[in-house]
Structure 1
C-alpha cells in the first residue's frame, strides 16, 4: 500500500502502535533485520545539510567521516588512518584502505571533491562557514593529502568529525541526491514519508561489520505511537525517547533505556531584522525565563538549567564567573524593556514546531513566562519540515531551537553564538556582536592552549553582554530498544545525540 504524508499522519494519530509501512523488509519476521522507529522522515537526503538528528541517524548509517568520536569522546580515525599538523598551516592526512558502496576506493581526490562541494556558493552546507579557513587540498597520492589553511588552525581534526561532513564519491550526487557513501549500510529502497530500507555494505572497511542483514526505518511522527510500537514489538529501536516515557521504558523488563543526562539543550535564537536587533530586548528575554520550570515541566526532571554557554566544568575552558549569565531577573528585564522604549509592552512572533513535544511545550512556556514581563508572544508551530524551511527563510522574530554540540573543541559553540555566519534555521541572524567573530577566529588559529583559554574567556564575556542566543535548559538524550538489540553504545555528554555514528555495531540476538 502506498501512503502519502496526510494518510500516514492519520494512521499515526489513530493507532498507538503503527504497523510497519512499505519497504521490501516490511514483512520480515527474522531477527537479522533491525526495525527502527524514527521520530520523523528526513526532510531530504541531500548530504552535508543539517536537517536534525533524525537526518543524522540515517546519514551516520550510510556515510563515514574522515574522523569521528569514540565512546570516551576521543577523536579517532574513521576513513582517515592518521593525521598530523606537519606545518603551521597544513594538516597531512593518510586514508585507510576503505571503499565506497560501489566497491571503488576512497581516495584523496574524493576528499578534495567533497570539501569543494561544501565550500561552493549556494551549497547550503552547515559547515560552509567553518571550512572557509581552508584554502585548498593538496593531493599527495591516492591515499594522502594535505589540508591547507590560511593561518594556523587548531580545530581541523574536530572539524573533520562534524556529523554532516561525510566523504562521498566524487560526482556521485549527479545521479542521486544522497550520493555514494562509505558507511556500513546503503539505501536499497526509500518511499518519502513512509519507509527506508538499508542493505549492508559488503565493502565496509571494518571487518565483520555490519552484522545485520538489513535495517528498516519507519517514521512515527507521534511520539506516543513511537513508544507504543517499541513496547508492542513492532520496532526494535527508537530515537528521541520522550522524557515523559523514560521512567516507564526503564522499568519495562523487555526494554533497555540508553540515556545521557547532559545531552543536547534548548535555546532561543533571534532574528535581528526586527526588534531583536536591540541587544537590550534579547537580554530582557533571557532574564524573563524561569529555567527550572522548563526542566521539570517539559523534561520531567531529565535535564538541567542552562545558565551559560555549554562548557563542561571539567574543561580548561570552563569559567565559573561566566557560567550563570542567563538567570531569572524580571525586574531587570522590565527595566531593559523600558530603556528600549517598550515600557507599555512588546509583541513578537516565536517560531517552533508542534511535531516534537519538547519544542511545542518550550514555546508555550516561553509565551507564558514572557507575558509576565510585558512581552506578548504569538506562536507559529508547523510540522518539523515546515519549521526548518520557515526558519531557513528567516520567518519569526525569534525561534525555539534544540541542538547538541557537534564537537568538544571550545570552538564548537561558534556555530551557535556567532550570528554573522551564513543563515540557518538553528542560528540567530541579522545582527553582529562587535569583536566576537575576530576573537573566535583568533581562538581557532591559536595552537597554545593557555592563550586559547584567555581568548575564549573574552569571547564568552562578549556573549554575556550581547546575548546573541538565550540558553534555556539541557535535556537528556535517550534511545530505547528491545532486549534483543545488542551493541548499542552512546557518545558522552553534548555528543550524545550523534551516537548513531556507533550504530555500525548494532545487532540482534
Structure 2
C-alpha cells in the first residue's frame, strides 16, 4: 500500500489529525484552547508493564496510546493512515514491506526516532515474549535501509501486518529505555502525553500530562488524561454517574443506571458469543464428529429470545463468526441457522443420535446466565449440556491441551487474517484439535495471498465453517461505552474502548 510521496504523506497526517478533531466534536485549529480540559477515563484493567513490547490489544491498548505513537494510525472507521510511518509498500510477492518514517520526532527522553529506533522496537517486540508477540511471527528480520527507511522481511505473506503495525506491534518506545526495569513502571515514548509519576498510583490510577514538544498537536486534545482502574462494572457506573470519570465501559444492566443519569451511549459490536464446537473430528466426543449433530445444535437456539432476555436487546443474533467490519461477513449467512427445534431433532435422528447427545462444557465466569439458557434450549431437542468446573487462568493451556471439546466463549471479530488465525487455521488457539480439510486449507491459503482482497476471500472460509457448523454463534454483542456531556467520543470499529485520539472536549 503506497500513500504517495513523503511530503504528501506528512500532509496526510495533519489532515488525519484535523479529521479526528472534527469528528470528535472539537473545532480544528483550536487545540491550544481544547487542551485546557482534562479527561478521566474508567479503565477496566490495570497495566502491568509499560514496556511497549508487553502491550496487549482490546481494553489494554488505549492507555499505551497516551504514551506511545504507533507506526500506523488506525482511523475510527478502520482505515489505516500515516503516523510515525509516512508511507509503506509491499513487493510484488507481499513478502517485503518497505516503510518510510518521519524525521522530526523525538522520544520523551530526548532520543531521536529514526530507522534504527524502529528496528530496535520491532526486534525487541519479537524477543520480549509479550502477549501479542505473535503479531510479528511472519517477520523474519528488520533491515535498516537508511536513516528513515526500514524493510520488514516476511517468511510468508501476512495480510494483517499493516493492521498489527497500528496495534501493539507498532508502538514505538525510546531505544534507550527498551529492556530496562524503569520502562516497566514509566513509559518512554514519542506519544502525545507523558506520565505524571507523582500523581500515578499503582492499581489505582495512571496520570498523563500533555507533552509540550509533541509533533502532532491536532490529536493532543487534553492537558491531562487520567486512567482510573475500576475493574467492577458497578464501581465504574457509580464513578461515571457521580462525575469521577468522564467515560467508561458498562454492560446492559449497569447501562440502565447510566442512561437514567443522562449519560451518552456509544455502542459498537466487537465480539461474538456462542459455542465453539472444538472436537469436529469426534476425537473425544464422537457425536461432535458428525456434521448433522453440530448443525442440530445450531438449529436448537432461539437467538433473538436469548438476545432480548439475556442482553436486554443489546446485540444482534447471528449464525456467522465473522463480523460486519471484517469484510468476510455476508448477508446470506446471518440467519443461516434459524430457530427450528423440529429440524434439530430430525438431524439428530439422521445422525443416529435419536436417543440423545451429551456435550461437556466448562463454566465461564460472567456467562452463567447464557449457559443456563443454552442448556435449556439444547435439552428441548434432546441434547444434554453438562456444565463443569470454571475455566481458570490456565484456560489457554487447557484449550491447547484439548481439555475442552466444546466451550461457550466471547471472541473478537477482527480482520480476516486475524480471525482465521484465532479460530480456524491449524495454528489457531481455538482450533485446538487442528481440524482441517484440503478444501478448507485451500480457502485459507487464498486469504493469505489475496492482499487487499483478503476479506472477499475470507467470505469463502466463513461460508465453509458455517455450513460445516464448526461453531454455534449466538449473537454479536454491543459493547456499551458511556460518556458524560463534557466530552464527545467517536466509536472505533472493532474496539470496545475507543482509541485515545477519539475523545474531544465538548463544544
TM-score by length of 2: 0.76
1:359-415 CA-partner distances (Å, limit 9, x unpaired): 443333333333333222315457xxxx554345436444433344344xx434313
Label 1:152 to 1:194 Cα distance change in 2 as closer, same or farther (>3 A): closer
| Structural mapping, 1:356-395, within 5 Å | 359-372=367-380, 373-378=382-387, 380-381=389-390, 387=392, 389-394=394-399
Q: Distance in 1 between matches of 2:352 and 2:109?
A: 60
Structure 2 unaligned regions, length at least 5 = 1-34
1:109 paired residue number: 116
**Alpha-carbon distance between aligned partners in 1 of 2:346 and 2:437, rounded to the nearest angstrom:** 24
Aligned partners of 1:287, 1:313: CA distance in 2, in Å?
26
Q: Is the 8 A contact 1:360 1:381 kept in 2?
A: no
1:443 aligned to which of 425, 442, 447: 447
Change (3 A) 1:463 1:50: farther
> CA offsets per residue over residues 331-354 of structure 1, 9 Å max, x none?
454566664769444141324223
Distance in 1 of aligned mates of 2:433 and 2:451: 31
* Shift in alpha-carbon separation, 1:93–1:220, aligned structure 2, 3 A: same
For 2:396 and 2:156, locate their aligned partners in 1 and report how far apart those are by CA, in whole Å: 33
1:275: which partner in 2? 285
Cα deviation digits, residues 219-277 of structure 1 (max 9, x gap): 33332332122111122221x22223445534644x332233x4433233355485387
Q: 2:97 aligns with which of 91, 94, 110?
A: 91
Counterpart check, 1:478 vs 2:485: no
Instruction: Name the CA shift for 1:256/1:103 in 2 (closer, same or farther; >3 Å).
Output: farther
User: Quick one: distance in 1 between partners of 2:153 and 2:410?
Assistant: 33
Aligned residue number for residue 13 of structure 2: none
Q: Distance in 2 between matches of 1:149 and 1:293?
A: 47
Choose the corresponding residue for 2:250, options 218, 223, 241. 241
Paired with 2:432 and 2:215, the residues of 1 have a C-alpha distance of 41
What SS does the corresponding residue of 2:313 show, helix, strand or coil? Answer: coil
Question: Residue by residue, what CA displacement relative to the aligned partner does 1:265-321 show, whole Å, maximum 9, x if unpaired?
Answer: 323335548538736465444333221123212222122112224353995x55444
**Structure 1 residues not aligned, in runs of 5+:** 1-29
Give the one of 225, 229, 232 matched to 1:219: 229
**Helix, strand or coil at the partner of 1:229:** helix
2:365 to 353, 363, 380: 353
Corresponding residue number in structure 2 for 1:432:
435
Show the counterpart of 1:265: 272
Q: Partner of 1:172 in structure 2?
A: 178
Structure 1 residues 57-94: Cα deviation after superposition (integer angstroms, max 9, x where no partner): 32333333221321333211122111123543322211
TM-score, normalised relative to structure 1: 0.76
Match of 1:459 in 2: 461
2:217 aligned counterpart, secondary structure: coil
Contact 1:291 1:306 in 2 (8 A): yes
Does 1:414 pair with 2:420? yes
Q: Aligned pair in 2 of structure 1 residues 269, 52: CA closer, same or farther (>3 Å)?
A: farther
Q: How many residues align?
A: 455
Answer with 1 or 2: which has the greater Rg: 2
SS in 2 for 1:216: strand
- The structure 2 residue matched to 1:72, chosen from 58, 68, 77, is 77
Query: Over residues 413-454 of structure 1, what are the superposed CA-to-partner deviations in whole Å (9 max), with x where a residue is unaligned?
Result: 31343252253xxx34233222434432332212474xx577
Confirm or deny: 8 A CA contact 1:210 1:506 kept in the other structure.
no
SS in 2 for 1:173: coil
Residues 59, 164 of structure 1: 8 Å contact kept? no
Asked if the contact 1:79–1:95 (Cα under 8 Å) also holds between the matched residues in 2, the reply is: yes
Deviations 1:151-173 (A, max 9, x none): 55554433423456433344613
SS in 2 for 1:56: helix
2:129 to 95, 104, 123: 123
Aligned to 1:12: none
Task: Evaluate the alpha carbon distance shift between residue 480 and residue 158 of structure 1 in structure 2; reply closer, same or farther with a 3 A threshold.
Answer: same
Aligned counterpart, 1:55: 60
Contact 1:93 1:146 in 2 (8 A): yes
Q: Residue 268 of structure 1 contacts residue 399 of structure 1 at CA under 8 Å; is this kept in 2?
A: yes
The residue number in structure 2 matching 1:8 is none
1:229 pairs, out of 222, 239, 253, with: 239
| In structure 2, C-alpha distance between the alignment counterparts of 1:381 and 1:483, rounded to whole Å | 40
Q: What secondary structure is seen at the aligned counterpart in 2 of 1:361?
A: helix
Tell whether the 8 Å contact from 1:198 to 1:214 is kept in structure 2 after alignment: yes
The alpha-carbon deviation at position 127 of structure 1 amounts to 5.4
- Closer, same or farther in 2 for the Cα pair 1:420/1:99, shift >3 Å? farther
Note if contact 1:305-1:472 (Cα within 8 Å) is conserved in structure 2. Answer: yes
Give the root-mean-square deviation of aligned CA atoms. Answer: 3.7
Instruction: Provide the secondary structure at the position in 2 that maps to 1:499.
Output: coil
Q: What residue is the counterpart of 2:501 in the other structure?
A: 502
